[in-house]
Amino acid sequence: MLRSPIGDRILTLAIVTTPATAELTAIHGRMPLVVAEPDWPVWLGEVEGDPTPLLRPAPSGRITTWRVGRAVGNPRNNGAQLLAAA
């Protein structure tokens, strides 16, 4: 756990990526790591185990994609309407 110079706890996060699945390579060469729910305790260190084997792309068909509008790329835009298919 990270601590500030005065001892306060610092919460951090990271996005772990893997090579993209065949379905996603047209969008990008890598994708976020998807850890299956049964593997969460190992990933989070709640039980003993090696998390290294979890560093793999999601199984084919696990992620669904659809085309969205260009407004998604602008951080000033926000809302559920951004998820509507284009």
**Per-residue pLDDT reduced to its tens digit, 1-52:** 788 899 999 988 899 999 999 889 989 999 999 999 999 999 999 999 999 9
The mean pLDDT of 60-86, rounded to a whole number, is 89
Q: What is the pLDDT of residue 11?
A: 87
* The overall pTM is greater than 0.85: no
Handedness of CA 66, 70, 76, 80 (dihedral sign): negative
- What confidence score (pLDDT) does residue 63 get? 87
d(CA 66, CA 72): 12
Q: What is the domain extent for residue 13?
A: 1-86
pLDDT at residue 12, as a whole number: 86
CATH code, domain carrying 74 = 3.90.1680.10
What separation in angstroms does the CA of 43 have from each of 3, 30, 70, 83? 22, 20, 35, 29
Structure tokens at 35: 């850890």
Tell me how many domains the chain contains: 1
